[in-house]
Amino acid sequence: MREGTCPCCGARGLGPESPGVALLAVSDVLVIKALETMGKYIVRAERSRYRALGTRPRHSAHTLWQPTDDVVDKALKGAWDVVPALMDMHGCCGVTSRRIIEMLDSYVHDLVITGTEHTYGELAYRFDHRLGVPALARAGRYEEQR
């Protein structure tokens, strides 16, 4: 691969932060899907919750009702299974898949415990401060996203 090209897609002219940004984007989707799975469990627990949730997305259900540890464990089972394969194929930034999985798991648990909505900016912040992957940090962009 030529210098200055993205290791994931081969696009030219991407800056040195690009692999971290791609990893962050994939992780963002994985977090939303994990929270959506959890939201399905949460809403199904009581019939009245369907109406209370209304038009809000299921991935925000944890902000209305705190799930039990069992529900969190069920929802996160297999949520990060794709990370090792992605890192083997497109790995970057000197971060192991194990560290990414631990960070994602911790992040989702923190969201559930605090009843906080997931944000791209908070995830970027954690990539920077917990993994040392400055996906958006160098440009200060995660502050705008928080």
Q: What is the pLDDT of residue 78?
A: 94
Angle at 75 between CA 67 and CA 61, to 5 degrees: 45
Going from N- to C-terminal start, the domains of the chain cover 18-145
CA 113 – CA 136 distance, rounded (Å):
26
- Summarize pLDDT for 27-58 with one digit per residue, the tens: 999 999 999 999 999 998 998 999 999 999 99
CA 99 – CA 86 distance, rounded (Å):
14
Q: Across the chain, what does the average pLDDT equal? A: 83
More confident site: 52 or 145: 52
CA 76 – CA 8 distance, rounded (Å):
26
CB distance 73 to 95 below 8 Å: no
How many other C-beta atoms lie within 10 A of the C-beta of residue 13? 8
